[in-house]
Every structure is written in C-alpha cells, then in structure tokens.
A and B are shown apart, each in its own frame.
Chain A
Amino acid sequence: MTTPEIRVPIQQIGEITVAAISGELNGRSAPLVQDKLLPLVAPGCKILLDMRDVSYMSSAGLRILLLLYRQIAGQQGHVVLSGLPDAIRDTMAITGFLDFFEDYDTRPAAMAALQARA
C-alpha cells in the first residue's frame, strides 16, 4: 500500500485555525486527514478548511467533512470552507453535504465570516 498523496498544513491566524487540504481526499487518505483535523476541535473553535487544492473528493472525503462538522458543532465551534473547486462544490450540493456548510470563494472572505462569529 502506497502512502496517499495528501497534505494538510495547518496554521493558526489569531483565533482561527486554517487547514489547507491539498491532494485527493478519498477512502485511503480520509483517515489521515481525520487524524490531522480532529485534534483541532475544541470548545468554541473556529476552523477554516481551505479546499482550493483538493483535486478529487470521494464519498469518504465528504464523510470526513461531515464528521468534522458534527464534532465542531457539538462543541459550539464554527467551521467554514473556502475555495471549493466547482466540480466538488456541485457534488456536495447534489448529495446534500453542502447543506451543512458555509462556503466562500476566497480565504479572506471565509476568514472574515469566521471573525464575525461570536
């Protein structure tokens, strides 16, 4: 089994945690992404997922996003997405996953939205 091509650099900008996922988010890489992201969840956390460099998103990838959403919501935190590629955004809309997320075209717009949250 080869190591999946996925990277999730994380940076803290003020109170906002920015995770930029890059590569293919599929059944093989999803557990790795999950291991990176779940430790970020804390009461009242503000997490921005920059999706601009996600080249492919499978059903398992969408499930990781929803899992993250549920964990964050459970701790009164906030998560927003930025830069969703059109095809992925379309898939998320069609399958209902987008109903759970706020998404913004750009990272600054997503930052601003998160900053506005109490």
Chain B
Amino acid sequence: MQRIDIYPTHRHDNFLLRTGRPYPFGATFVPGGVNFAIFSRHATGCTLVLFEKNGAAPLGEIPFPNEFRIGNVFAMVVFDLDYENVEYGYRLHGPYRPGDGHRFDSDLILLDPYARLVGGRDQWGQTPNPHNPFPHRGRLVYDDFDWVSDHPLELPQEDLVIYEMHVRGFTRHPSSGVKHPGTFAAIREKIPYLKALGVNCVELMPIHEFDEFDNDFVNPFTGQPLLNYWGYSPVGFFAPKAGYAATGALGMQTDEFKALVKELHRHGIEIILDVVYNHTGEGGEDGHTFSWRGIDNKTYYMLRPDGSYQNFSGCGNTLNCNNPVVRNMVLDCLRYWAAEYHIDGFRFDLASIMGRDAQGRPLANPPLLEALAYDPILGKCKLIAEAWDAGGLYQVGSFPAYDRWAEWNGKYRDTLRRFLKGDLGQVQEMALQIQGAPNLYAERGPTASINFVTCHDGFTLADLFSYNEKHNLANGEENRDGANDNYSWNCGHEGPTDDPELSALRRRLMKNAVAILMVSQGVPMIHMGDEVAHTKLGNNNTYCQDNELNWFDWRRPESEADMLNFFKQCIAFRAAHPVLRNRFHFQNLDYVDSGYPDISWHGVETWNPDWSAHSRTLAFMLCGRHARAGAEPDDYIYVAMNMHWESHAFELPRLPAQLRWRVFANTSMPPPVDVYAPGKEVLLRDQRAFLIGPRSVVILVGR
C-alpha cells in the first residue's frame, strides 16, 4: 500500500511542493522530500530559503502559500532535494518595532531553532566572512545511527565520579599525540586515560553549535582578538558543534559524536552534557540577529515592558523558558539528545532562570522544571542544576526539585575551600557537607549534592592554593571579569614558587581537597586537569582563552605522576567502599546492631569533636556494617582532618575485635607513601592514636 501524499501538488520555480505537516518542527524526511515546519506567532509571512552547500547566494526562495500555514506554524514539503548539498533558512516577515518586542527583518536569512545540523562554521577558528548573508546554516541529517545494543548506562547516581571537561581543551595541546586534536574523535583516543583515572562519567562543557567568535575583547598583551572558547553562547540547541568534529567539514559531526557516546558507554563511562537554556548567542540591544530574534523575538525572549531584554544571564538576553512554546522547544531538544544521542544526563547552566516566569519573577512551581522532572523520555536521565543565575537568584538547597533534580552544591565548594585554608567557624558546616548536606537535601538524599571544590568557573585546584587574587588581565577587561569571592589562599606568596617548602604545602592542600571530596557522601566532580595540578596562572575566568591556559598538557601525567596517583587512589578507594556512596542520609544511629552508629564524629579525642568556632580539627568514622543501610557490608573508615598549622595527636576509635586500622592516605607524607592502593593499606603499629601532621588529612580503613 503506497501513501497518496507522496506527490507534489504545488510548484514554485523548479521546486515541487505540497502542504506540510506542522509537527514535528524542524526539517524532517518524508517520502520523496523534506518537511519544513517552523513556528512564529507574530510573523505575517515566511519564506523558505534554500542554498547549495556553502553557496554565496540562494538557490531558491519559496514563500509559504497561506494554505500551507496551520495556526502559527508554516509547514511545507519540498520534493527531490539533494539532501547532502542543500542548506536551508527562513525569512520572516513582520513588523520591526523593538518597543513592542518585535524585531522582524526580512532582509535576514535565519537559522531554524530546530536545525539538527548546522553548517557555515565547519572548522574551529576559521574567521567568518562578514559578507556571508547566512552565517549559520541549517542542514538536513538522517537520524539513523546504528547503535547496535548500546543503551544509556543508568549508573546509580551515588556511584558516579564526574569529570568535567572541555572537548577542545582536552586534546588541543600539541603534546596530546592524537590524530585530530581538539575533537570528539580525539576524546575516544583518550578513553584509556579516563579509565585509568577511574572516573565513570564525563560532563562535557557546551557542545551544541556556538559561535567561538562571539567576543569583542582583545588580549592586551598580544593584541589578539579573544574568543568565546567555552561555548556558553548557543547558536543551535539541537546541533553538535561542527568545529568540535574531525569530520565537521564533511558534515558528519552527528555520527562522530554518536560514535564517541557509544565508545564511552562501551567502557562504562556515562556522558552528561552541560546545556545552556538560559540565554542565546544573539546578545542584547546591540546584539546580532541570526535566529530567534528574527523569528519571534517576543516569544523567545524575556522582555521588559519597553521591549528591551531582561538580562538574568549576564549575557545580554534571557530565554523565555516558561513560555509554553519555548518550554516545548527545550523539552523537544532534551528528548532529542536523550533518545537520539543516548545522553545519560544534563547539567543546566544557570538553571534558576528556568524557574522564572515571562516577567522574570521566580515561580514556586515552574512548569519547565516540572515538565523535565516528569518527562517519560528523560525519565532515567540525570538532571543537575546550577541552582543560581546572574540575576541574584540563589537556590542551592531550594531548587524546585520534584525528587529528581540534583544541584551543583556551591555551599560544599565554599565550605570545603574555607575549611582547607584554615578559616575559623567551618567545622559544623563542613560536617554537614561531608554527609551529603542533610541540611540542604533532607528530602532528596545525598545524591542531590554534586560535590566539588573546583569547576570550569574559577581557579584550578593548583591556583586555589597559589593565588589570593584573580589575575584576569589577559581577558581584556582590566581584571574586572571573574568572581572575587574565591576563598583561595596563596600560602604566603602570590603565584609560582621555587620554594620547596611552599610548594610542598600547596600540594598537600590539593591532596587534602581531593581526599575529603572522595570520602564525602554525594556525587564528587573533578575538573579536567586538576589531577595533574594544571595552572591557569591565576586567571579565574578563562572563557575566552584558546591556549595553554585551557589546554590539558599531556606531559603532565608524567611530570605530575604523584598528584595523578593520589587522585587515582582516592577515586579507587571511593569505588572500593560502598559506605562512601550511600543513597540515603545517615541516621546517626546504630540500626544494624554493630555497636557503632552509621557515622560518628570525633576530634583529637574520640567521641568528642570540637564543634567550636575556633576548631580546625575534625574526624569521623563510618561503620562499614551500615553501608547502604546494611545491604553491602563494608570496612570501617576513619578520616581525620587537621586544618591547623600544628600537628595534633588524634585518638583513634576502637574497632570491633579482630579488626585493625590500616593507613590508606596520609597527606603529610611524601610520595609514594602518601597513599596506598585500596587493599594494600599499611597496618598501623599504634592502634590507639595517630599524630596528624600540620594541615593534613589521614584516612584509615579498619578491617
């Protein structure tokens, strides 16, 4: 039986046409042709503009006849297109009255917000031609990747160790030794490194199409224009960035990225995408129109009554997330990435914006966040909020969660940083944070807490203990950009040092950080390069730097082998001990009849922690019999943290008969005796007390 709608009914010049289907939006293959569907509530007319691939002038322009419009959707089938060689965009007709929120301009050829493949910037860093009438071009793509039996891994959230990374930065450095530096393909070559490190989830900074040239600043030292390197500047929400693909010039970035996902999954590594639905790359009043602004400005953006752009993102505009049409776009987009790309989870940049209404007011029950939490297709995806925005909304602990959302726990980061540098008044909050922040996530459990000490924003771990102040002059804004509240400490000297004692102290503090991170309940996240003490020379906002500041230096795994080993062993220790990875909060009780509570707090004296504001010492013991509510019996673990600049002898809790304390890590010891492989821990001679060195962390295992 053949369908009877596969024949054209209309003709425009040489193009054979038929009325299209209004759904799905975007360009989709139908028998014999391509269905183009685009929404605009306020446009008075629409023209489909077709180009030959990379063509300077349109191949043809086809106005949508009025009978091809259904409601606010223009829909048309064009037959017999050479799908690999055609690019498409739209001209939208309507008023240009910014005061009323309308910015239609039919001189512009616009990118389809639903374009799943975007051409025009096929290679990273290729200077754009300012005379190109259509810079970001929609292309057609078959969603027919052969996944064989691949499936998102659905690892339990409590078992994740997240590695936040930048696609280009990971392999762009000349030392990477990969065939195609800076690409998705190159990450595949480095999977053995990730496996050896022990992480089981990579979180990629934005990989949707963005414009790396979206930056007006100049490096004052070199005179070179700066880039939008990180990519928090969306051009196409549905399209992987061509410039990140070795096959971008062939338009095969979708296949290349899917092949990467498949390969990561094959090695037991999940993939989370950092997604930006809070603003677009079109900027503010003086921005440029390439898509949403010209298609339906008033729908897609949050506007003030005078038609100007609300700016809760700090990037000039704010996506109107809780408009039902925009909400559906975000939902369609995430469903597409989850279903078509097998993505395991999403981290939402400035997610608090997604909880604001069209006027920018925070909502108690934001429809978008609820829709994502309950969506059937996203039902097993990890949803992680950066629970704040640049408009002053800070929702760590109070993000509307629907029992689904986890959060980047900024309070964990700040508390750990202050505790590490010896600030007073931190032990009580630190104790809560180590337990997965029951004060913040009482209902959701510790897995709602994504714990970290550093991320792409801010200092690297090495710089956290080398700089008191940010050093961002190279960003071209006279050091005004970037955060000022870093809770960092230079250990007495600003910047690099030759002093072996100073250098040893810094390294100890770095190890203290990762040691505490990996024994905290919740989900640890580390940032690419910290495991090899990467420095950005004190720059805490390298969003614009396409150079060594952001490129992982592949000589460092060798030169920083000790630091790398410390990270590896801490991650392996976490993996070996279910008692560190509980799904539910501790009860501070003995509910398995072991004689010990699930967690107990200690200090220099056992059972007597110093909770006072002057305290810089803290210790805790986890009872292995309580691991995962008693379901997976484990060893006992004792962690002593001395953030004081003097040594302290800590009494050790007494273990059940037959069990003995063994040393897993002692950050005051030089490598290689700073840490042991799990299972190879060294028996302690004195089972009653341990002298903890200045500003040091000791982890013992009792078995």
Contacts and interface: CB of A to CB of B under 8 A. Distances in A.
Contacts of B250: 58-59, 91
Interface of B is mostly: helix
B168 to A, nearest CB: 16
Nearest to B84: A27
A45 to B, nearest CB: 20
Contacts of B262: 96
B84 A95 contact: no
A43 B225 CA distance: 61
B84 A58 contact: yes
Interface stretch (B251-259, B479-487, B560-568, B677-685): B251-259
Given A59-B252, A63-B142, A94 B84 contact: no
How many interface residues does chain A have, given as a range? 10 to 19
Nearest to B259: A96
B85 A27 contact: yes
Interface in B217-262: 246-247, 250-252, 255-256, 258-259, 262
B180 interface: yes
B67 interface: no
Contacts of B180: 94
Interface in A61-108: 62-63, 66, 70, 90-91, 94-97, 99-100
A59 B85 CA distance: 11
A99 B188 CA distance: 14
Interface of A is mostly: helix
B146 interface: yes
A98 to B, nearest CB: 9
B646 interface: no
A7 interface: no
A69 B259 CA distance: 18
Contacts of B85: 26-28
Contacts of A66: 146
Given A59-B255, A63-B142, A63-B144, A94 B82 contact: no
B401 interface: no
Interface string B2-14: 0000000000000
Given A91-B250, A100-B146, A59 B256 contact: no
A32 interface: no
Interface in B249-294: 250-252, 255-256, 258-259, 262-263
A23 to B, nearest CB: 15
Given A59-B252, A66-B146, A95 B82 contact: no
A95 B144 contact: no
Residue of A62, A66, A96 with most partner-chain B CB within 10 A:
A96
A95 B252 contact: yes
Contacts of A6: none
A70 B188 CA distance: 25
Contacts of A62: 252, 255
Contact of B259 (A27, A58, A60, A95): A95
Nearest to A91: B247
Nearest to A57: B250
B241 to A, nearest CB: 15
B179 interface: yes
A94 B142 contact: no
A94 B247 CA distance: 8
Given A66-B146, A100-B146, A95 B83 contact: no
A97 B146 CA distance: 9
Nearest to B183: A94
Nearest to A93: B185
Given A59-B250, A59-B255, A94 B146 contact: no
A60 B146 contact: no
A26 to B, nearest CB: 6
Interface in B141-169: 142, 144-146
B82 A28 contact: yes
B55 to A, nearest CB: 16
B146 A95 contact: no
Given A59-B255, A60-B84, A95 B142 contact: no
Contacts of B246: 90, 94
A118 to B, nearest CB: 23
Interface string B126-148: 00000000000000001011100
Nearest to A100: B146
Interface string A4-20: 00000000000000000
Interface string B167-189: 00000000000011000110010
Nearest to B141: A59
A71 B80 CA distance: 26
B82 A27 contact: yes
A66 B250 CA distance: 18
Contacts of B185: 94
Contacts of B258: 96
Contacts of A91: 247, 250, 252
A31 B142 CA distance: 15
Nearest to B140: A27
Contacts of A26: 84-85
Contacts of A28: 82, 85
A99 B266 CA distance: 13
A60 B142 CA distance: 9
B291 to A, nearest CB: 24
Which 9 residue pairs of A and B lie closest in terms of their CB atoms, listed nearest first? A96-B259, A27-B84, A95-B255, A94-B185, A95-B256, A59-B252, A94-B256, A95-B252, A94-B246
Interface of B: 82-85, 142, 144-146, 179-180, 184-185, 188, 246-247, 250-252, 255-256, 258-259, 262-263
Interface of A: 26-28, 58-60, 62-63, 66, 70, 90-91, 94-97, 99-100
Given A27-B84, A59-B251, A99-B259, 4 more contacts: A27-B85, A58-B250, A59-B252, A62-B252
11 contacts: A26-B84, A27-B85, A28-B82, A28-B85, A59-B255, A62-B252, A70-B146, A94-B185, A95-B247, A96-B256, A100-B146
